Amino acid sequence: MITLNLYYREDDHLRRLMLDDGEAKELDRLWDELLFIAQEPLELEDVYEQMLGYASQDRPDLVKSFTPLKPAIVGRAEAFRKRLAEVEPRHVDGVVAFARQAFRRPLVPEEESRLRTLYDTLRKKEVPHEDAIRAMLAHVLVAPDFLYKIETAGPGTEAKPVSDHELATRLSYFLWSSMPDAELLAAAETGRLHDPEVLKSQARRMLAAPASRRLAEEFGTQWLHVHGFSTLDEKNAELFPTFAGLRADMEEETVRFLEDFFRNDRSILSLIDADHTFLNERLAKHYGIAGVTGDAWRRVDGVRKHGRGGILGLAATLSTQAGASRTSPILRGNWLYETILGEKLPKPPKDVPQLAETVPSGLSERQLISMHSENAACAKCHRRIDPFGFALEEFDAIGRLRTTDAAGKPLDTKATLPDGATLDGQASVRAYLLGARRDQFVRVFCRKLLGYALGRGVQLSDQPLLDEMAARLAAADYRISVAIDAILASPQFRMIRGREAADDAT
Partner 1 sequence: MSPQLSRRTVLSRRTMLRGLGVSMALPWMESLTAAGEPAVAGAAAATPPVRLAVLFAGNGFHSKEWWAKGSGKEMELGKVLEPVADFREKMLFVKGLYNEEARKGNIHSSQTGNLLSGAPLASGGEIRSGTSFDQHLAQTYGRGTKVPSLVLGCEKSNPSVHKNYSMLYSSHISWSSPTTPTPLELYPALAFDRLFKDESHAGDASVLDAVLETADDLRRRISRADRRKLDEYFDSVRDVEARIEAAGKKGELQGWRPAVEKPDIPRPADGIPQDIAEHMRLMCDILVLAFQTDTTRIVTLKLNNDHSALRFPNLKASSGTGGIDYMIHHLLSHSDNADWLTVNRFFTEQLAHVARRLDAIQDGERTALDNSMVLFCSSMLTGNHNNEQLPVVMLGRAGGGIETGRVLDYSGKSDRQMCRLYLSLMAKMGVREKTFGDASAPLEEV
**Which residues of the chain form contacts with partner 1 (CB under 8 A)?**
110-111, 114-115, 117-118, 121-122, 125, 127, 131-132, 134-135, 138-139, 142-145, 147-148, 150-153, 225, 227-228, 233-234, 236-238, 324, 347-348, 350, 354, 357, 457, 496-505
* Cβ proximity to partner 1, 134 vs 383, nearer residue: 134
Q: How far is the CB of 390 from partner 1 (least distance, A)?
A: 21
d(CA 257, CA 280): 13
Burial class (CB in 10 A: 0-12, 13-18, 19+), 125: exposed
DSSP state of 106: P
* Cβ proximity to partner 1, 58 vs 503, nearer residue: 503
Q: How far is the CB of 227 from partner 1 (least distance, A)?
A: 6
Are 391 and 354 a contacting pair, CB within 8 Å?
no
Are 484 and 435 a contacting pair, CB within 8 Å?
no
**DSSP code per residue over 157-179:** S--EEPPHHHHHHHHHHHHTSS-
Q: Decide: helix, strand or coil at residue 485.
A: helix
* Cβ proximity to partner 1, 93 vs 467, nearer residue: 93
**H/E run at residue 62:** helix 60-66
Q: How far is the CB of 237 from partner 1 (least distance, A)?
A: 5
Q: How far is the CB of 165 from partner 1 (least distance, A)?
A: 14
Q: Decide: helix, strand or coil at residue 267.
A: strand
Q: Decide: helix, strand or coil at residue 416.
A: strand
d(CA 90, CA 195): 36
Are 278 and 344 a contacting pair, CB within 8 Å?
no
Residue 62 CA, distance from chain mean position: 64
Q: How far is the CB of 330 from partner 1 (least distance, A)?
A: 12
* Cβ proximity to partner 1, 228 vs 362, nearer residue: 228
d(CA 428, CA 143): 54
d(CA 314, CA 445): 17
Are 212 and 220 a contacting pair, CB within 8 Å?
no
Q: How far is the CB of 375 from partner 1 (least distance, A)?
A: 16
* Cβ proximity to partner 1, 477 vs 500, nearer residue: 500
Burial class (CB in 10 A: 0-12, 13-18, 19+), 296: exposed
Q: How far is the CB of 393 from partner 1 (least distance, A)?
A: 22
Q: How far is the CB of 457 from partner 1 (least distance, A)?
A: 7
* Cβ proximity to partner 1, 134 vs 285, nearer residue: 134
* Cβ proximity to partner 1, 214 vs 225, nearer residue: 225
End-to-end CA, the chain: 78
Are 397 and 243 a contacting pair, CB within 8 Å?
no
* Cβ proximity to partner 1, 300 vs 359, nearer residue: 359
* Cβ proximity to partner 1, 86 vs 503, nearer residue: 503
* Cβ proximity to partner 1, 288 vs 348, nearer residue: 348
Q: How far is the CB of 383 from partner 1 (least distance, A)?
A: 21
Q: How far is the CB of 87 from partner 1 (least distance, A)?
A: 20
d(CA 10, CA 384): 76
Q: How far is the CB of 239 from partner 1 (least distance, A)?
A: 10
* Cβ proximity to partner 1, 403 vs 461, nearer residue: 461
Q: Which residues contact 268 (CB under 8 A, 6 or more apart)?
A: 442, 445, 473, 478, 479, 480, 483
d(CA 328, CA 366): 9
Q: How far is the CB of 409 from partner 1 (least distance, A)?
A: 23
Residues pairing with 395 in the sheet: 401
Virtual CA dihedral for 40, 37, 14, 12, nearest 10 degrees?
-10
d(CA 116, CA 122): 10
* Cβ proximity to partner 1, 1 vs 505, nearer residue: 505
Residue type for 220, please? G
